[in-house]
Amino acid sequence: MTTVNRKFYEQIPPGVYRATFTGVKDLGFQSTAWGEKELVELTFTTGYSSPTTGQPVPITARCSKSLHPKARLNAIVSALLNGPVPDSIEIEQLFGRAVQLIVKLAPSKDGTRSWSRIDSVLPAPPLPPPAYQAPAPVYYPPQPPAPAQSFSIPAPVTETRQ
């Protein structure tokens, strides 16, 4: 017997997020409003943590498997590379790269629900330099006192005349 549970998707509030490209899934040919298209689903892990689990919340983007200049995948790859898109690329080579996502809420067709949607993907801005941290103080344990030294003072020399 197979048990199927309802899947709960965590929503990411609208905003701008730094994210890391973490996965790709080939969806094969799918029926779209523009006919049959070969689609891929790209997964990004944001810096937003779930209030319930404390884990980073992933967000996905579906797009056609095309690097045409007007294709959404072209814009995403351009942001991941922070430069021009080659004619062909192994998308898995881009895993771990950072981008900046603009996330918006999209309503469902019937207007009863909404979900988080990637509106734009931009190159990630450079990270700020780390804040200055003073070096940790060095603790030197107290030294035991030096052993007492004894001095012998010579007796004054008196001259005797002969």
**Phi, psi at 23, each rounded to 5°:** -170, 160
Strand partners, 21: 44
pLDDT at position 150, please?
A: 66
CB 41 within 8 Å of CB 64: no
Lowest mean pLDDT among 24-38, 70-84, 148-162: 148-162
Q: Which pLDDT score is estimated for 108?
A: 81
User: For 106-116, what is the mean pLDDT?
Assistant: 85
Q: Name, in order, each residue with C-beta under 8 angstroms of 18's C-beta and a sequence gap of 6 or more.
A: 46, 47, 98, 99, 100, 101, 124
Indicate if the pLDDT at residue 104 is higher than 80.
Answer: yes
pLDDT at residue 14, rounded to an integer: 94
Q: Is the pTM of this model over 0.85?
A: no
Asked if residue 159 has pLDDT above 80, the reply is: no
Give the least confident one: 72-76, 101-105, 107-111.
107-111
Residue 63 pLDDT > 90, yes or no? yes
What integer pLDDT is reported at residue 42 of this predicted model? Answer: 96
